[in-house]
Amino acid sequence: MTSEIVTSHRERAYALLKADADKILKLIKVQMDNLTMPQCPLYEEVLDTQMFGLSREIDFAVRLGLIEERDGKELLDALERELSILHEASTRKF
């Protein structure tokens, strides 16, 4: 494969993973705003399931060589930081 194609696949893979991370953040925001408190088991179940799924997607992309392990970890860490901020803001409401 030419380097342009490889770069294109890598950029696309990262963009898809980033989009999935953004979807998780939006899902949790909606859940916190409308449905449940952060201490609710349903909230924790959804968050754990979504984060596990994303981590498996990232692992798969790393194993295929589509993204660097460091980039995948940074993506998960950034999402966890955003979710932590959201959680803290939500618990201040209650």
The three-class DSSP label of residue 67 is: coil
Query: Among positive and negative, which fits the CA dihedral 89, 80, 25, 42?
Result: negative
84: enclosing H helix or E strand: helix 69-93
pLDDT tens profile 27-67: 888 877 776 565 677 777 888 999 999 999 999 999 999 99
pTM above 0.85, yes or no: no
Burial of residue 30 (CB within 10 Å: 0-12, 13-18, 19+) is exposed
Q: Which domains does the chain have, with CATH numbers?
A: 3-93 (1.10.287.750)
Contact 86, 69 (CB under 8 A): no
